[in-house]
Structure 1
């Protein structure tokens, strides 16, 4: 393998931004890749892949280094050694001893929290809440996530999009369980395609694509996506509603709603109204919606495959705080559902304390006001999807 020093330096710089300045990995990599327009697809892929994987396996690599504060260039060298790649004959790598690295790796494999590269406290929480399932889920969460597309049925269909992408050299496979999903057979930059620019698809994991259909929306309904963010699930709901009815997308941050509006225009979505959540927003919408989606803020432990840096940023106190936030949202925002309507509570967490337990508490405290209709969970280990939970609750007439 031939290494280019400037690419390795870009990875070292990225690691410093992520671990010393606490910046999000995806934002750092996006900035670094934009810094040199001359890099080709292979160079960009080398930087992005190695940065993400080093972040993913950070604890393991630190253990193998056997140093308290190893240089980022040393961590890069250790990662390449573990992958079986020969290091370049650079003076900064003269002290790297491949045999010692492999011996330390054998020791690391005996300790789950090191082998799977997870903080102590998070390993304890996962084992406590998931028991024997934790090993398989944790291992699956360390695999590289596939790229999955959701076909925008307002503009095209799966067969037509698959053919169009193939003409651009992008091969995909349909996912039988999801009528609008296409999985890439290998990673490609789909954002430069005419199909993306024309709003024919969005990048959306298969697990995330399960949520909107759970709401059972119909054209002409009044639907609220109460934690819409940048609108991935809002756009899916609009397609399922065939652009008919009224779809209110809400969030506490206006910049996310700006992004949602931009994406909606590209997707040809015309039935979405955005609202910034303010003090009286929920009260004004009391019992007005046929359907309400609560894709609440969470730990994000179900999507670690895509955001490996988040496991080094979240802390035990954050988990406690977010559970309270989730329950507050469920308790208050559920008031927007009218009698006979339906609510879907969803998280991208694999922890029952953020998911099933919250719904059971809500049902217990709400008495006869709600009925649990369905409860679904996608499993990285079982399904190969990101880890999502969703519960459908019906409010009797």
Structure 2
């Protein structure tokens, strides 16, 4: 594709995202490229890079366009970003040529708006703080409560491009062997700092097209998510419940730590997500997992009360810790969403607590950085359930394989990860024990 064709494709993709505002941007992009298989891998990466750059700068671009008398629509968003990055409008007008595969010619008002932006950069001292930091107005005070004077630095890290992390499947290979297999296919991967099972690739690479992936040697999983699995402390012969399993990412990790022994039940309320786990389990060589669909009025939980050694609740949450991968999520998140999710998290925790055997452990995790979904949720749970107590992850006796000290904060018994501090997605994990 020519540069102008890639520009036109980026605008088209943004239009698709705008027309389906409730769908995650990555899902829209996957469908967009699936329908346009003529777009090669390199062109896909270039188009995606342009689109994600707009998503990461959306509030600032919207502020500039409003100031210049324009609207935040895809053509002007893309054009504004290029101009604020230093591209002259005259040059941009040549790219918007209306020729074959190129964007349509700039309308006079579009050219006028873009000319008003020449000589400026993306940031401006008059921007409201929430706009400059690319977060919703209502959310900024909650982030400031969590991060204090580090708020700007933490948010900047949350909105920066993410790395690509892999979890090595120790049921099939070793970390060194997996890295060597990837290198044979032209992909250089290095050991992660915090997870003993992880490999990190610093640029976007087609990992899923490799033989190493197809053979189940590696699975795409953020390093922080791998530490959540480690915090469960699941071992061979245990009975383990992954209560919000989704498509089974953490289920696969649990099966690995259990050496494919014992028994795992992967539950979810979504049948398509559970069905999506089947191929992943087969590829990884996992055979100790049972899937169960949770439905209204289900007697399954009652029959299995107090029977699991470990129960993992990877709770539905705002996903604020994954903004590096899903910058569009910031634009959709509302206060109502947060209130609904915290109520749902409380209900899930209460239900899951009854499935933990005496002396067993309940592990609560989110990919959120908000206190309301994390520490505050655990404090409220412990007040409702005095038979549970929180374990200190600093204590080497808590886990057979202790979590790296550099992943833990000295004054917190739980795990709280952020991109700025740990180069992972944002995660929270607390380990609770039920009295024997």
Tell me, yes or no, whether TM beats 0.5: yes
Correspondence 1:305 to 2:307: no
What CA distance in whole angstroms lies between the structure 1 residues aligned with 2:27 and 2:281?
A: 22
The answer for the alignment partner of 1:262 in structure 2 is 279
Q: Structure 1 stretch 308-317 or stretch 19-28: which is displaced more?
A: 19-28
TM-score normalised to structure 1 length: 0.94
Residues 245-266 of structure 1: CA distance to partner in whole angstroms, max 9, x if unpaired? 1000000010000001121011
Correspondence 1:40 to 2:58: no
- Mapping 1:213-362, distance limit 5 Å: 213-278=230-295, 279=297, 280-362=299-381
Correspondence 1:365 to 2:404: no
Residues 130 and 351, structure 1, Cα contact 8 Å, conserved in 2? no
SS in 1 for 2:312: strand
What CA distance in whole angstroms lies between the structure 2 residues aligned with 1:8 and 1:80?
A: 11
Residues 83 and 117, structure 2, Cα contact 8 Å, conserved in 1? no
Question: What is the number of equivalent residue pairs in this alignment?
Answer: 395
The answer for the alignment partner of 2:129 in structure 1 is 112
Shift of residue 116 of structure 1? 2.0
1:384 pairs with one of 423, 429, 432: 423
SS in 1 for 2:117: helix
Residues 241 and 267, structure 2, Cα contact 8 Å, conserved in 1? yes
Residues 46-86 of structure 1: CA distance to partner in whole angstroms, max 9, x if unpaired? 11111122112111111122345244112111222333456
Residues 308-335 of structure 1: CA distance to partner in whole angstroms, max 9, x if unpaired? 1111112111101110110111112111
Aligned pair in 2 of structure 1 residues 320, 101: CA closer, same or farther (>3 Å)? Answer: farther
Shift of residue 111 of structure 1? 3.5
Give 1 or 2: higher helix fraction.
1
Aligned pair in 2 of structure 1 residues 125, 176: CA closer, same or farther (>3 Å)? Answer: closer
Structure 2 gap segments, 5+ residues each: 97-104, 393-413
What CA distance in whole angstroms lies between the structure 1 residues aligned with 2:36 and 2:17?
A: 19
Aligned pair in 2 of structure 1 residues 85, 190: CA closer, same or farther (>3 Å)? Answer: farther
Structure 1 gap segments, 5+ residues each: none
Aligned pair in 2 of structure 1 residues 371, 82: CA closer, same or farther (>3 Å)? Answer: same
Aligned pair in 2 of structure 1 residues 199, 84: CA closer, same or farther (>3 Å)? Answer: farther
Aligned pair in 2 of structure 1 residues 70, 296: CA closer, same or farther (>3 Å)? Answer: closer
Residues 345-366 of structure 1: CA distance to partner in whole angstroms, max 9, x if unpaired? 0111101110111111111222
What CA distance in whole angstroms lies between the structure 2 residues aligned with 1:237 and 1:109?
A: 49
SS in 1 for 2:390: strand
Residues 135-180 of structure 1: CA distance to partner in whole angstroms, max 9, x if unpaired? 2221111100000000011111110111111111101111132111
What CA distance in whole angstroms lies between the structure 2 residues aligned with 1:301 and 1:353?
A: 12
Q: Structure 1 stretch 265-274 or stretch 90-99: which is displaced more?
A: 90-99
SS in 2 for 1:145: coil
What CA distance in whole angstroms lies between the structure 1 residues aligned with 2:359 and 2:122?
A: 57
TM-score normalised to structure 2 length: 0.86
Residues 222-280 of structure 1: CA distance to partner in whole angstroms, max 9, x if unpaired? 00000001111000000110100100000001000000112101111100000001222
CA RMSD, Structure 1 to Structure 2 (Å)? 1.9
SS in 2 for 1:79: helix
